[in-house]
């Protein structure tokens, strides 16, 4: 019922409510950032950046909601025209990671709500609070009940919840950001009901330095690419390939930069550049 009513709202009205949601995020950016730091561990400055990045998706899709145009296409018959209407697909299940607990939600949810879909968000078990905080602001923005839904769960239940979302016939679309291994499992579950799926999975991110490179600039880039969010992003460098002629100079300067510029500590400490890893499993992996 919520999906039918939301999908029937004029695009201008959906746009206005998404815009208000964006404005509320900006108004409450400090509180939202503190929630991210508390549950994720990333330094507060990084968390503040994530919140503004997160809000920007709602701003973007608030405007795009106004531009869901159809098409009139010439047909092979002279007296015929083909009319294309763009309609919401229905319920979208959103499964998000812990490394960007706010931004990965709004990036997916903003698009779905702009199109007239409703969403069920399953946040990562380590970071459910950001999803719930966004839900509170959605209520204040007059996003109707049942349009934005959050299903937090324990680590023990996360696989079962994911399976339900992928197999329930009421769900029409799956959007997942996470590991390749988990993505393969979700694809298998979704195949039974032939759901639409969007998968953003793990990859490889080499940092390549040639002999012709400016070493100082390469070191600065490497520092940002490797240690952002304590190395816990899907695009963080996972191996360095440095040409022989520049290798020793690069390694020496990179080591000095790490010692000088990186400071491990509590995310709420202004001097901290590297907060804690997300959980014990991440520590063991490192």
- Helix (H, G, I), strand (E, B), or coil: what is residue 245? helix
203 in Cβ contact with 234 (< 8 Å): yes
Token pair in block for residue 273 = 């550049």
**The tokens 């990036």 sit on which residue?**
107
**The tokens 């520590």 sit on which residue?**
283
Token pair in block for residue 104 = 């990965």
Beta strands 118-122 and 148-150: pairing type? Answer: parallel
For the annotated catalytic residues, the residue numbers are: 200, 234
Rounded distance between C-alpha atoms, residue 242 and residue 251, angstroms:
9
Distances (CA, A) of 130 to 8, 198, 246, 259: 29, 22, 44, 32
54 in Cβ contact with 47 (< 8 Å): no
146 in Cβ contact with 120 (< 8 Å): no
Rounded distance between C-alpha atoms, residue 228 and residue 221, angstroms:
11
Distances (CA, A) of 198 to 85, 144, 176, 226: 22, 25, 6, 27
182 in Cβ contact with 176 (< 8 Å): yes
Give me Rg for the CA atoms of the chain.
22
């Amino acid at each position: 019922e919520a999906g039918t009513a939301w999908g029937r709202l004029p695009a201008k009205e959906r746009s206005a409510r998404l815009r208000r949601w964006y404005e509320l995020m900006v108004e409450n950016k400090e509180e939202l950032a503190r929630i991210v730091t508390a549950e994720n561990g990333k330094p507060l400055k990084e968390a503040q950046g994530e919140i503004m990045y997160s809000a920007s998706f709602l701003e973007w899709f608030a405007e795009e909601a106004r531009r869901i145009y159809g098409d009139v296409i010439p047909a092979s018959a002279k007296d015929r025209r083909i009319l294309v209407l763009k309609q919401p697909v229905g319920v979208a299940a959103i499964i998000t990671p812990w490394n960007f607990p706010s931004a990965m939600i709004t990036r997916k949810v903003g698009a779905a709500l702009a199109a007239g879909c409703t969403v069920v968000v399953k946040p990562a078990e380590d970071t459910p609070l950001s999803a719930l905080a966004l839900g509170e602001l959605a209520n204040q923005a007059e996003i109707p009940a049942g349009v934005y839904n959050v299903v937090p769960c324990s680590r023990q239940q996360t696989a079962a919840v994911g399976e339900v979302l992928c197999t329930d016939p009421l769900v029409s679309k799956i959007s997942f950001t996470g590991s390749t291994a988990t993505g393969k499992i979700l694809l298998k579950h979704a195949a039974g009901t032939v759901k639409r799926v969007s998968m953003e999975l793990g990859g490889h991110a080499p940092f390549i330095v040639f002999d012709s490179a400016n070493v100082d600039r390469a070191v600065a880039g490497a520092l940002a690419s490797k240690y952002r969010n304590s190395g816990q992003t899907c695009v963080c460098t996972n191996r360095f390939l440095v040409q022989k002629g520049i290798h020793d100079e690069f390694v020496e300067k990179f080591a000095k930069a790490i010692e000088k510029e990186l400071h491990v500590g509590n995310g709420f400490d202004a001097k901290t550049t590297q907060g804690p890893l997300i959980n014990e499993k991440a520590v063991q992996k490192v």
